[in-house]
Structure 1
Amino acid sequence: MTSDGYADVVMPVRVDPAGVAGPTPGQARGRRWRRVGKGLYVPADVDPAPTRQRIAEAVRGTGGAATGWAALHWLGATWFNGVRGDGLTPQAVPIALDDRRQARARPGVALSEDWLFDDDVIVVGGLRVTIPERAVTYEVRRAWHLAGAVRTIDMAAFDDLVDIEGLTAYTERLVARGGVRLLRQALTRADENVWSPPEVDMRIEWEHTGRAGSLLCNVPLFDLSGRHLLTPDLFDPVHAVAGEYNGAVHDGVAPRRRDLDREELYRRHGIESLWMMSADNRDTTRFVRRLHAAYDRADGRPGAPTWTLTQPDWWVDTSTVAARRALTPDQRARWLRRQNPKPLTCGS
């Protein structure tokens, strides 16, 4: 009923007259088994709330495959937890059925009859799921806005499940599909080195102001002797302006002290810094005001820079999916620990 690596999931089973592979007909009618679909059961004490369990119960027996956020979550994506942007409302589990309907609509499930390519479906942990490229493009094509579409791509790339080149190639196969225009637009704005969903929103808002000469995500800054200084969430090297997202995780004395130390270090090296607060997601007016003020101050800074983007020989670049995929396990443990995911959501 479980597969290696998915021991926390109890797969639904069919009735078995012998009572070996599943409940007998009599047992299935009793209190010790819970019906989750047509002819499918799990033990009644299995909690249906965990996201992977919810996905398995929704998909099993449909003849389809989990896609969208559900496939990405099943494949280990950090930021796709099946909850909407409010952090509370569960998202319906999207199931790709191809163009042959084998399941009926029911609460908590979103059925898609959009036809699949022959290589779109794989089996992982005993469950049929679509490949990451299909899952991401499905999710992006149904996004409510550009920021949500870009966020999906960036956060799937965070776990190296997709890269922009591969997604672009896959998109070329999606002829006359709904939402492809948004998908293509999002691909031009996506980045493979974003570490959290709020960074995407900050980047897009920043770009909309028209002030950025060039905006880099999580690029390391070094002093002129090659010592690592800082890795800002966003950095405009043309104007020497750095941006940091300051969410709830920054509350408290110790995090605030670290933020102040970072701000002092920026000043010492002639870099203007600004912070986007979690409340700015609801109303960006103050963030935009702080952004313009930072650029105004940066324009008046004299002197040669005491920082550089040139990476010293000892540094290992992890800014692309290809670079991260090439890391050894030991290198991943060392060089990716600074990404430090937070328990947020990628809901659009």
Structure 2
Amino acid sequence: MPSHVDPRAAEQRIVEAAVRLPSGGAVTGWAGLRWGGGAYFGGHDPAGGHLPVPLALDNHRKLRPQPGVELCEEFLAVDDITRVDGLPVTVHPRSVCRILRTTPSLERRVAALDMAAFYDLCSLQEVLDYARARLAGRPHVTRIWSALPHASENSWSPREPVMRLIWTRVAGLPEPLVNVPLFDRWGSHLVTPDLLDPATGVVGEYDGAQHGELRPRERDLGREELYRDLGLELVTMVSADNRDRDGFVRRLRSAYDRASRRPRSAAWTLQQPHWWVDTSTVARRRALDEEQRRVWLRRQQVAA
């Protein structure tokens, strides 16, 4: 290995693990999604340590345990395997299902689904179809069923699903819309909040580094002032709220209380003008041509 290669890099760890694969095996789980272009799947546990590279083997192909490698020995069909840049990997829905079945945390499972969809690796329907067809009766398959109803194909960061789950499961408030664009009465785009309850006008945003890259115009205008001008109640979630979630819940409920005491503003609408290209689902994004992807999917390019 050349001296300039970082052995801790996810791609290098994947390649070194894949060398050990017997015929008919494949890289799976987080590593399969990373190799397929999912930059979010970096192979780290919640404490920042390295996760082993999961290798899918059917139960007839034995491999000696090795440091840094997780052996996943169960039924593996021929059409469960594809090749990406010369490396055998399991199809993306199977790789996602591997993460879901081995992850106890609902928040992390939903984030994995959202981010797999963000990179257009697989749709939620594709995950559901694969699990129904291939994984019925497998250990921990209920973790797939419990995560899918909470997932979205339009999240733009891994913190948005966490905020969404706190919004609905902890605060007990209505399911918000995810990254829906708001327009004025003349069809000009105003802003795209992370979360929005359109019935009340309550907006939720996660204040992270992604906003400085993905929505610079909104940041420069001063989103708090913009939301006030539109008659919307903004609630911001910050990294400290991951440790003390009660504070975010209190702010969220207070925003709902304030919003309930005033009429809905007519300064914005969800009605999309004719020139707008809806990219809210995996299917819609896959249907774009290269020029449309360059114009409308800058956020994916930034996050790659």
Report the TM-score when normalising by structure 2: 0.91
Report the TM-score when normalising by structure 1: 0.80
> In structure 2, what residue type is equivalent to 1:118?
V
> In structure 2, what residue type is equivalent to 1:333?
R
Q: Does 1:49 align with 2:8?
A: yes
CA distance in 1 between counterparts of 2:223 and 2:3 reads: 52
Q: Does 1:280 align with 2:237?
A: no
2:62 to 102, 107, 116: 102
Per-residue Cα deviation, 1:161-220 (whole angstroms, up to 9, x for no partner): 100111111111212111111101111111100011111100001111455334111110
1:161 to 121, 127, 131: 121
More helix by share: 2
CA distance in 1 between counterparts of 2:186 and 2:49 reads: 50
CA distance in 2 between counterparts of 1:201 and 1:248 reads: 16
1:58 to 17, 23, 43: 17
CA distance in 2 between counterparts of 1:280 and 1:160 reads: 29
> In structure 2, what residue type is equivalent to 1:92?
P
CA distance in 2 between counterparts of 1:218 and 1:340 reads: 17
CA distance in 1 between counterparts of 2:51 and 2:61 reads: 21
Q: What is aligned with 1:177?
A: 138
Consecutive unaligned residues in structure 2, runs of 5 or more: none
SS in 1 for 2:70: strand
Percent of residue pairs bearing the same amino acid type: 49
> In structure 1, what residue type is equivalent to 2:283?
A
Q: 1:133 to 1:284 in 2, by over 3 A?
A: same
Equivalent residue runs for 1:1-348 within 5 Å: 42=1, 46-63=5-22, 64-86=25-47, 88-173=48-133, 174-248=135-209, 258=219, 261-302=222-263, 304-338=265-299, 341=302
SS in 2 for 1:225: coil
Q: 1:264 to 1:279 in 2, by over 3 A?
A: same
> In structure 1, what residue type is equivalent to 2:195?
L
> In structure 2, what residue type is equivalent to 1:184?
W
Decide which structure has the larger Cα Rg and report it.
1
Q: 1:339 to 1:268 in 2, by over 3 A?
A: farther
Per-residue Cα deviation, 1:126-174 (whole angstroms, up to 9, x for no partner): 2111010110001111112211111111100001010011111111121
Please tell me whether the aligned partners of residues 62 and 102 of structure 1 are also in contact (alpha carbons under 8 angstroms). Answer: no
> In structure 2, what residue type is equivalent to 1:169?
D
Please tell me whether the aligned partners of residues 114 and 151 of structure 2 are also in contact (alpha carbons under 8 angstroms). Answer: yes
Per-residue Cα deviation, 1:288-334 (whole angstroms, up to 9, x for no partner): 11101110111011354321111000100000000000111111111
SS in 2 for 1:169: helix
Please tell me whether the aligned partners of residues 211 and 295 of structure 1 are also in contact (alpha carbons under 8 angstroms). Answer: no
